Amino acid sequence: MKKLKKIEDINKKAEATFVIEERKFQMIEYLLFELFDKKFVLEISNIIEVIKVPFITPIPKSPDYVLGLINLRNEILAVLDLRTIMKVKESEITDESRIIVTINDSTKIGFLVDRVKGIIGEEMEDIKPVEATEENKFLKGAFEFGPQIVGIIDFKKLISEL
C-alpha cells in the first residue's frame, strides 16, 4: 500500500496546471495573384472560378480598363484589366495570364491578371492598414508574404466605383 501511496503522491506532484492564453484565430482565405511584379489577393468568397484567357471581343469607346467581352459557357461577361485599375505597369497577355471570374450580387465580372499563384490563408491580426492614396484606393489592407507585401483588394469598393 505504501508504494501505491507514493505513486499517487508522485502523480499529484507531477500534475501541474498551466494557464494558456486562449487565442481565437480568424483565418481568411484569399486567391493570391500577380499584376506585373506586385502581389495582390481577393477573398475567395468573391470568386467563382479562374480561367485561361479566351478570345476577348473589344468594346468600342469603352474606358481603358474595359478589355471587352467573353463568352463563358454561353454567358457573356465583361472583362476588366485589373492592372490598369490598380495602376500597375501593363504587360502582354501570356500563357500564364488568367481571368478571375467574380460575382457581385448576381453580376459576374472577369478580371485579367498576369499570374495566379494559389490560395493562401491569412490571420486577421496579421493584416495591416494601408495609407489612403490614389494608388491604394482599392486596398483595404496588406500583409507580409515572404519578402513581399501583398495588397488586399477591397472587392466591394472596387465594384462600386467602376
* Lowest-confidence pick of 19-23, 93-97, 101-105: 19-23
| Chain position carrying cell 500500500 | 1
Can you give the pTM of this predicted structure? Answer: 0.81
**Beta-sheet pairing, 139-145 with 38-43:** unpaired
Q: What phi-psi label fits residue 46: left (phi over 0), alpha (psi between -120 and 50 degrees) or beta? A: alpha
Backbone φ, ψ for residue 104 (5° rounding): -130, 115
Assign domain 27-161 to a CATH class: mainly beta
Over residues 105-135, the pLDDT tens digits come to 889 999 999 999 999 988 878 889 888 888 8
d(CA 120, CA 17): 36
